[in-house]
């Protein structure tokens, strides 16, 4: 009980994305993301890790879970909304093909994982 009173840092969902905010504030600019042509993720490990974290946060909080990837793929509104929400945290070219394909790929795999977790929780006994 004494440990709970002493703890000053948040644990769990309230802490999500705080490290990137601290990095951006320390650099006095947004973290630049460079995705090379033919790649799906940034080559720099810190960029890749922070991008994956923020993509997951945006996916869980703002993008609806649709029953099929095809429905999400045909609705470009979801993808453009997703890219805009990720762009807020980073400095990246949102019009380049590697960035768009990378974001679409991360959205696709994130949606699949979320559908799996929902199915496992509510339908598999």
Quote the CA–CA distance of 27 and 85 in Å, as a whole number: 21
Other beta carbons within 10 angstroms of residue 101's beta carbon come to 15
pLDDT tens digit sequence for 84-94: 888 888 888 88
pTM exceeds 0.75: no
Q: Where are the domains of the chain?
A: 2-122
Flag whether pLDDT at 70 surpasses 80. no
Q: Give bridge partners of residue 27 from the DSSP assignment.
A: none
pLDDT tens digit sequence for 13-29: 666 666 666 776 667 77
């Amino acid at each position: 009980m004494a440990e709970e009173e002493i703890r000053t840092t948040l644990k769990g969902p309230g802490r999500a994305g705080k490290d990137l905010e601290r990095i951006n504030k320390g650099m006095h600019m947004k973290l630049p993301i460079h995705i090379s042509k033919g790649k799906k993720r940034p080559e720099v490990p810190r960029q890749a890790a922070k991008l994956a974290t923020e993509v997951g946060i945006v996916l869980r909080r703002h993008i609806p879970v649709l029953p099929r990837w095809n429905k999400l793929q045909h609705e470009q509104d979801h993808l453009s909304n997703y890219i805009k929400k990720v762009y807020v945290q980073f400095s990246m070219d949102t019009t380049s093909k590697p960035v768009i394909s990378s974001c679409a790929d991360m959205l696709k795999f994130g949606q699949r994982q979320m559908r799996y977790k929902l199915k496992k929780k509510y339908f598999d006994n």
